[in-house]
Amino acid sequence: MDANAPSTSAPVSMGTSIIAVTFNGGVILGADSRTSTGNYVANRVTDKITPLCDNVYTLRSGSAADTQAIAGYVQHFIAQHQAEEGDHVTVKTAANLVKMMAYNNKDIMQAGLIVAGFDKYGGGQVYSISLGGTITATPFSMSGSGSTYINGFCDKYWRENMSEEEAMDFVTRALRYAMTWDASSGGCIRTVTITAAGTKRQFIQGSLIQPTYGELPREQIVA
């Protein structure tokens, strides 16, 4: 065995780039698809956008097992709630269920999540839930190891009341930048758009995602 080979015994972690943004008709969630075990890429096409119910989805970062467990429990709680109430759950209710799971298990779980969706009371909404269980309602949110590279980009280019096309361009550009600079992010780009009309998934395969080095000036050195 090669002593320099990357370890595969580390916990499976989604060293991740995830982002969610509101626009004038709903929300768009986006994520890369790389899952790592230490320095080893365990999965190149992971789906990090998990439905909690028809109108609410969550973006997962941190330990893959921990975030899957939280999502599974919350899916069960929401199904019970909707059966009793006979109506769709609100985005805020779903986000608070995720927050309770993250907070009550903060000492044993590593899970940073974003909950986003659409309901008839609040329209498109985004909630960021930190590793310790703090919940924050924001017009847009990003998380994961790749998010540190796109804070400035998002602050500069996010605008209130963007159209769906503008919001999709914002999300995909941000993910391309994050995937260019973050070694733990990569693969393909998956997005979910949630509006009053329903949910729409899109997929951009990895071979079509070109690295973005736009901020680095390049000078011609050969005539």
6 in a domain, yes or no? no
Q: How many CB atoms lie within 10 A of CB 101?
A: 23
Domain holding 174, by residue range, is: 12-208
Amino acid residing at 186? G
221 in a domain, yes or no? no
Tokens of 49: 């956008």
Look at residues 24, 17, 18 and name the one whose alpha carbon lies nearest to residue 164. 24
26 in a domain, yes or no? yes
45 in a domain, yes or no? yes
132 in a domain, yes or no? yes
**Which pLDDT score is estimated for 207?**
80
Can 138 be counted among the known catalytic residues? no
Which residue of the set 16, 46, 50, 195 is catalytic? Answer: 16
165 in a domain, yes or no? yes
Is there a contact between 28 and 171 (Cβ–Cβ < 8 Å)?
yes
Number of domains in the chain: 1
48 in a domain, yes or no? yes
Question: CATH code at 46?
Answer: 3.60.20.10
Give average pLDDT by consecutive 10-residue segment, the chain, 223 residues: 54 80 98 88 92 97 92 97 93 97 92 96 97 94 94 94 97 94 92 98 87 61 67
Integer Cα distance of 118 and 121 in angstroms: 9
DSSP-assigned beta bridge partners for residue 119: 123
- Cβ burial, residue 104 (10 Å; 0-12/13-18/19+): exposed
**Which pLDDT score is estimated for 104?**
94
List b or e across 53-88, with b for residues whose CB sees 16 or more CB atoms inside 10 angstroms.
bebbbbbbbbbbebbeebbeebbebbeebeeeeeeb
216 in a domain, yes or no? no
Kind and range of the H or E element at 98? helix 91-104
φ, ψ for residue 197, nearest 5 deg: -80, -15
pTM exceeds cut of 0.85? yes
